[in-house]
A and B are shown apart, each in its own frame.
Chain A
Amino acid sequence: MNRKKLIELRGITKSFDGEVVLDNISLDIYEDEFITLLGPSGCGKTTTLRIIGGFETPDSGDVIFDGARINDTPPYKRHINTVFQRYALFPHLNVYENIAFGLRVARIRDEEEISRRVREMLEMVNLKGFERRHVTTLSGGQQQRVAIARALINKPRVLLLDEPLGALDLKLRKDMQNELKSMQKRTGITFIYVTHDQEEALSMSDTVVVMNNGSIMQIGTPTDIYNEPKNAYVADFIGESNIVDGVMIDDYSVKMSGHTFVCVDAGFGKNTPVDVVVRPEDVDVVAPESGMLRGKVTSVTFKGVHYEVIVDIGGFKWMIQTTDYVAPDAEIGVDIEPDAIHIMNKSEYSGMFGDYSSFSDELDALSENTEEEED
């Protein structure tokens, strides 16, 4: 694919009050790309976006747009528009005038053209007939649409979206995800999307940038990120994973939990300690005596499509997702296919994630809620 680089971040560092918020970030963004910055709250996603938009200047490093350095270009001169985290619609204007704002600022005097383009935008975001409504009378989802229409009317090269769906309920969020994705395809505008929701990131993006604590952990396609996480942090953040201590005996052979597995990874050397990632849906439940590993079920939760089973295998708690019911306290065997095993080098995140011994649904639900309440 012949892709043209549109934005380059080169070694961006930014501190607030002596606290490093972005630490030497480098990132290439291409034309017509849907790229997502994914990471927990406070990891620096918004700050990265604001640097691209021109609302913050980096302490060091360069922002390159279309080949030119734009570190000192003010926001109003950049061909970039933003959908702000809480919409930031103008309360003194109605829907029509909010959307027309960019055109009026650009000194377009032809009312017919303004009207035509505003209507075009309203149609795109499914808000026909809302022209005269006051923005404070709209629901969250409708305000969201106005914000998108307002940002797209000037036909920017890049659209920045900062957790645009964070305030919407689940159903609406799913619909908007599809709409945004198809909007991006239709318009060919580069979307830089910020979210802390990994599912959203995986389902919408061409490229996912996983961030943690002001650094980029991994850049890749959603499949790459999911199937080949670079370290335990990424593996854990992108969906549920069992991350087990292992030893790479030789190429295509890894030992964990006392059993030597065949795998598809090579090039780690002999007898190298590694982290092994196995996704819960890739573990097969078999009879105790015929399994590669054997363990005792400690909890079973019905999840609709599947059961979520926690199994104690030699003291390490695995999470398994299976469509067959298993009884709590039962002895079961498990099998793992070679291509379900992913090997990662040891990192500073080793041992911090991927064990479900302290796992509880309530805890998980709680932490998810608090995350969503934050901006």
Chain B
Amino acid sequence: MKKSFIERAAAYPHIVWSVLFIIAPLIFVVYYTFTDADGAFTTENVERMFTSNYVLIFINSVCLALIATVICLLIAYPLAYIFSRMKEKWQRIMILLIMIPLWMNFLITTYSWMTILEDTGIINSILSLFGLSAHMINTPGAVVIGMVFCFLPYMILPIYTVMSGIDERLLEASADLGCSGWQRLTKVVMPMSLSGVISGITMVFVPSISTFYISQKLGGGTFQLIGDTIESYFVGTAINYHFGAALSLVLMILILISMAIMNHYTDSEQAERRRIK
């Protein structure tokens, strides 16, 4: 069907917006990556990443982000399932409770975790009553906790959305055909909620791997993640847009690759459906 003029005109603001805020920055990133301070072409910035400890920083970041993502999944999946089987009124309340932290700035959430995890923080005050203490702040563990609590809603919401769309009668049908409670979960709920899990993983993994404030506040600069490193080249003491851009570009490519891998399953499934139709 031909689109009317109005319809086409309505798309222009979006195109302008995309060019201004997505395409142009991308071009800048690529430009800075492959130029030096004088604006001459160079691959030095990219090479530098493979010659020093930046590989290690990348590996660290991927590991922490993966751990946080897995923990989020383990917490979110059962929660989402329970929510999706509640009475509708309770579902709405629970989802509201999950969303409320999202209305708060992540920085505030992170600061509150600082006060909880500090050596003189809430947990340690309680532990000290029993003569115990635990050093938690400025450890990778604290960073993971921060990531989990900031990004958990992004795991719960997509999984819940998919699960609440699973027709109750499909669960009854599977029980009818001999599925116990556990089998109902593995044979129907899990395969049917896969797409929600994949968007959840994407939505947690991506901000986790690129975060810098969580690792700065809860990691205390004792170790560096890729997000901190990039930030330090743009606003830190050793400003170097060119190398920072190179790091960003590699991070972006890394994220795109992992998203492509994760989407592989759902994509091939959907493609098959389309093919049959």
Looking across the interface, which residue of chain A has its beta carbon closest to that of B175? Answer: A75
A105 near B276: Cβ-Cβ < 8 Å? no
B105 at interface by CB-CB < 8 Å: no
Q: Given A84-B173, A90-B173, A92-B191, A134–B276 Cβ distance below 8 Å?
A: yes
Question: How would residues 169 to 180 of chain B score, 1 for a CB under 8 Å from any chain A CB and 0 otherwise?
Answer: 110111111111
- Neighbouring B residues of A104 by C-beta, 8 Å: 187
Question: How would residues 252 to 277 of chain B score, 1 for a CB under 8 Å from any chain A CB and 0 otherwise?
Answer: 00000000000000000000110011
* Contact-residue bracket for chain A: 20 to 34
- Neighbouring A residues of B276 by C-beta, 8 Å: 132-134, 137
| Closest chain B CB from A51 CB (angstroms) | 13
> In the bound complex, what is the Cα–Cα distance between A35 and B174 (angstroms)?
25
A81 near B177: Cβ-Cβ < 8 Å? yes
Which of B176, B188, B191 touches A81 (beta carbons < 8 Å)? Answer: B176
Q: Which of A38-93 contact B (CB under 8 A)?
A: 53-55, 74-76, 80-82, 84, 86, 88-92
B7 at interface by CB-CB < 8 Å: no
Secondary structure at the A interface, as helix, strand, loop or mixed, is mixed
| Closest chain A CB from B277 CB (angstroms) | 6
B167 near A88: Cβ-Cβ < 8 Å? yes
- Neighbouring A residues of B180 by C-beta, 8 Å: 74, 76
Q: Given A88-B167, A90-B170, A105-B183, A134–B176 Cβ distance below 8 Å?
A: no
B192 near A76: Cβ-Cβ < 8 Å? no
A106 at interface by CB-CB < 8 Å: yes
Looking across the interface, which residue of chain B has its beta carbon closest to that of A147? Answer: B173
A90 near B179: Cβ-Cβ < 8 Å? no
Q: Given A105-B183, A137-B277, A76–B176 Cβ distance below 8 Å?
A: yes
Interface set of A (CB-CB < 8 Å, partner B): 53-55, 74-76, 80-82, 84, 86, 88-92, 101-102, 104-106, 132-134, 136-137, 150-151, 154
The 4 nearest A-B residue pairs measured at CB: A88-B173, A88-B169, A102-B177, A105-B178
Interface set of B (CB-CB < 8 Å, partner A): 167, 169-170, 172-180, 183, 187-188, 191-192, 272-273, 276-277
Known: A105-B174, A151-B177; 20 extra A-B contacts, CB below 8 A, are A55-B172, A75-B172, A76-B177, A76-B178, A76-B179, A82-B173, A84-B169, A84-B176, A88-B167, A88-B169, A88-B170, A92-B188, A101-B174, A101-B177, A105-B178, A105-B187, A106-B178, A134-B272, A151-B176, A154-B177
